Structure 1
Amino acid sequence: MANDEVVLKQYLSKYKHRDYTAREVISLIQIHRSLVYRLEAFVFNNGTRKDLLNLEGTIPVNYKGAFYNIPVCIWLMDTHPQNAPLCFVKPTPDMTIKTSKWVDSNGKIYLPYLHEWSPSGSTLQRLVQKMIAAFGELPPVYAKPRNQPQIPYPFDPFMPHPSGYPYPQVSPQPGYSTATPYPTTSNPLPYPNFGTPYPGPVSTNNLVGTPYPAANPYPPTTNFGVVTEMAGGTITEEHIKASLLSAVTDKLRRKLNEQSQQSQAELETLRRTQQELCEGKSRLEDIFTRLQREKAALEKNLSTLQEKEKELEAAVERLAEQDGIEADEAVVTTAPLYSQLLNAFAEEATLEDAIYYMGEALRKEVIDLDTFLKQVRTLARRQFTLRALMHKCRQKAQLAC
């Protein structure tokens, strides 16, 4: 397990969410041990190539009470899980794709789970479970007739495909489409109408085993240009025309479905963009409203400051007109207690200055030591009394002591 994690992180070095993708792959291969991961080049529609992680192997499908191994490959985008994986059915040379609403003629898998892929809620394990459930209803492959020559699987240039994909592009025969090969059956419909081919049992120990029917439901043909007598019926020109018409109809239907899905995805993107723009508009309106309130408060504070500035200028003018200011008149208390506290504080400050200057006089030998000690003792006793008085005044006035 530790070795797998180290190798995966080396493979996923260019992935945007390397650790998350590695954890998902390890969790998946622990459950489906037939899946093998490798780093391979993937060629997109526009011809660009990218090295992407490919999970290839078989998944067990329960069809009519028996389990069969269906070969699939899952390509993880380098933005995983932001974008859904690309999933394909990869039949062996003795198999043929059975197109259905889940799988097209190129083997590409279409599931609602892929169309509704969510980066936060979708997982690879859940995707494989959806594949198993869908293929249990409609198997995506069936066996080719044993006496029929191996025909390369059709290659659609409009579909993305991995580099080294085992089905090369083939040159069309005159008068036939490259997108859908002419079916080897006498039925005018593109697929036989005498029962759905289903796979015969295979060993679940075979990791690359693939379900296919024990009997061949498709009679082989060797010539398309003439009427051929066969044990099961006759192929005529009308059959060929009907088959070609049906093939073209299927081709157009697939293209229309792809365009419809693309349009729906673009519409969903536009809806999300509209929702984000509406949310952004609401946030901008809230910010604009808050800025207006702050602007009104600033204008009010500015007006108050201007009024206070005018009052200060008027006071400065009045003071400039006066000759002098008495200190006792400048400081006026609002209560006798405050007046007592102010007087005690002023006297204590004078005593502090007096003690300082007594020390200076002693240092300069203006007074002797005995006189200094006597005067300092008297001043200190008075200073202590004033400080005790100020403390009581502060307590009574409920001021900080």
Structure 2
Amino acid sequence: MVYASVLRQWLGSYKTPDSAITDIVTATNQYKGLEPLLETYTFNDGSSLQLVNLTGTIPVRYKGNTYNIPIKIWLMDTHPRNAPICYVKPTSDMSIKVSIYVDQNGKIYLPYLHDWKPNDSDLLGVIQVMIMTFGEHPPVFARPKQPEVAYPNNPYASQGATNQFPPYPTGPGFSSYGGYPPYPPINTNVNSGAGSGFGGGYPPYQAPYPPAPGYPVPGAGLPSHIPGQGVNANAGTIKDEHIRESLLSAIEDKLMRRMKEQYQQNRAELDTLKKTQYELKQGKAKLDSILEQLAKEKSDLDKNILVLKDKEQELEKAIERLSNQEAIDVDDAVTTTAPLYKQLLNAFAEEAALEDAIYYMGEALRCGVIDLDVFLKQVRTLSRKQFMLRALMQKCRQKAGLMPV
């Protein structure tokens, strides 16, 4: 078991080592057959890089039996921003079964890896998708072996049988890499699950399968032919079951193509609907903001209307009160209460009249109605009188206490 301190040292050159450590620990705690290692990965362009990988086996359920499939998962130094690179690593007595999910080099291709999302995808999800996919499409098959002569002391040989082999060893200490089921015809009935990148829906993921000490192989040993090739190595003839499997394979391929087309179409429609949903949510947020602002303005307007109605009622009452009163004489309205105030009022009115007279004298001179000599003579007289009135008003204010002495 690699400790977190060792992992942190190995992941020192990674962009986000904390996320990578969490991802590795979660996956290895769930699947005990995987172990992290630090090895050199060589890319297609010849460059190499020290990367951490998970090496070991994962339990795959196939036709009622559990098998341990050997895999290797390489974590890029940008993990989890970029998807890991996954391989099937068959042992010496296995062969890779090429399919749409595994190429001749053992590299694994899954929609989950193709549609990798840094915030949603993780190693545990990759392993679970592998388990479900390999349960429908086993990535390896047992290599055929030459018939052996049955020895008298061979406890596994039966009478008249010359093609029996002892089963692979089982029990603690054995990895159970052997004993793989013969690879069946290509089965394209792939069910995909939410978040896995497939088109349909995977069945809900059950608890991880317990690792089996050995593959339960039907009969006494491995068959000497490879199913799916259609030829019986013993008889050299094509049987009806092979024709039936070939027809089923062709039908399943056609169904897979149609399912893929339907998946792509549904995916495009889903993307369009998601974009429309995002735009509608933005529009709803804007409308909510506008409605909130309108509600606030309506509340302020209602308050202003109430104030205006109150003022209107006050104005109507004042108009009614004034209409019921007698007409006011302007002269009576400005009647003073003392002779001193009356003298001040008369002086102020006469001074204002002189101010207007001087203004219009200037307008008459500008228009050429009077001569300059007449203008100067009259203005001098009016100004002297205006000065005397202003002096009288100042003296009256002092007597009345209206201004500081």
TM-score tier (shorter):
0.3 to 0.5
| Larger gyration radius, structure 1 or structure 2 | 2
Q: What TM-score, normalized to structure 1?
A: 0.41
TM-score, with normalisation over the residues of structure 2?
0.41
